[in-house]
């Protein structure tokens, strides 16, 4: 039996999809796609996990390289900080990106859409992250 992976803290980004797929019209606006990123301090780089229809993209970024993708992700509708649980007993059924993120986080969830996953993560201890920097008023 494999060792349990470290319970890494993930940033889970909810936003619009990059493609124009017919089924995304069924999802709540702002919650049509989900992806995640985590910082590995021991390696000093970010891991970006993006499940898309053509396939899963896993990319590594140094701190300097991460600013480009991160600024794009800041336009997400919502961001949730969530610590991986690795407690699920079966494979997660759902739309592709939602199921892939549930598997990544190791959670039990009946969510089928990104918005349902967002709500489940908050119920399971996730915290909404405020990543936007507000401009100082004069």
Q: What angle do CA 113, 108, 34 make, to 5 degrees?
A: 35
Tell me which long-range contacts 104-109 makes (C-beta under 8 A, separation of at least 24): 104/10, 104/36, 104/49, 105/10, 105/12, 105/36, 106/5
Can you tell me the distance from the alpha carbon of 87 to that of 105, in angstroms, rounded to the nearest whole number?
9
Query: Stretch 4-27: mean pLDDT, rounded?
Result: 81
SS3 category, 118: helix
Of 13-22, 43-52, 105-114, which range is least confident?
13-22
Question: Which pLDDT does position 133 carry in this prediction?
Answer: 44
Q: pLDDT (tens digit, 9 = 90+) per residue, 42-75?
A: 888 999 999 987 888 999 999 889 888 888 887 7
Record the tokens describing residue 131, joined without a space: 């990543």
Domain regions of the chain by residue span: 10-128
d(CA 64, CA 68): 9
Measured CA to CA, the distance from residue 110 to residue 1 in angstroms comes to: 26
How far apart (Å, rounded) are the C-alpha atoms in residues 74 and 129? Answer: 11
Better-scored residue on pLDDT, 52 or 95: 52
The residues, ordered by sequence, that sit 6+ positions from 18 with a Cβ below 8 Å of its Cβ are: 33, 52
């Amino acid at each position: 039996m494999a060792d349990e992976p470290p319970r890494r803290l993930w940033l889970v980004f909810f936003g619009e999809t990059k493609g124009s797929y017919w089924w995304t019209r069924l999802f709540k606006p702002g919650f049509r796609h989900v992806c995640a990123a985590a910082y590995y301090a021991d390696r000093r780089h970010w891991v970006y996990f993006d499940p898309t229809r053509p396939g899963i993209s896993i990319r590594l970024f140094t701190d300097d390289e991460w600013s480009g993708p991160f600024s794009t992700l800041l336009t997400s509708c919502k961001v949730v900080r969530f610590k991986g649980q690795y407690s699920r007993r079966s494979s997660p059924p759902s739309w592709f990106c939602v199921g892939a993120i549930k598997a990544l986080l190791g959670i039990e969830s009946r969510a089928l859409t990104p918005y349902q996953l967002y709500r489940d993560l908050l119920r399971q201890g996730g915290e909404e992250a405020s990543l936007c920097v507000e401009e100082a008023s004069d």
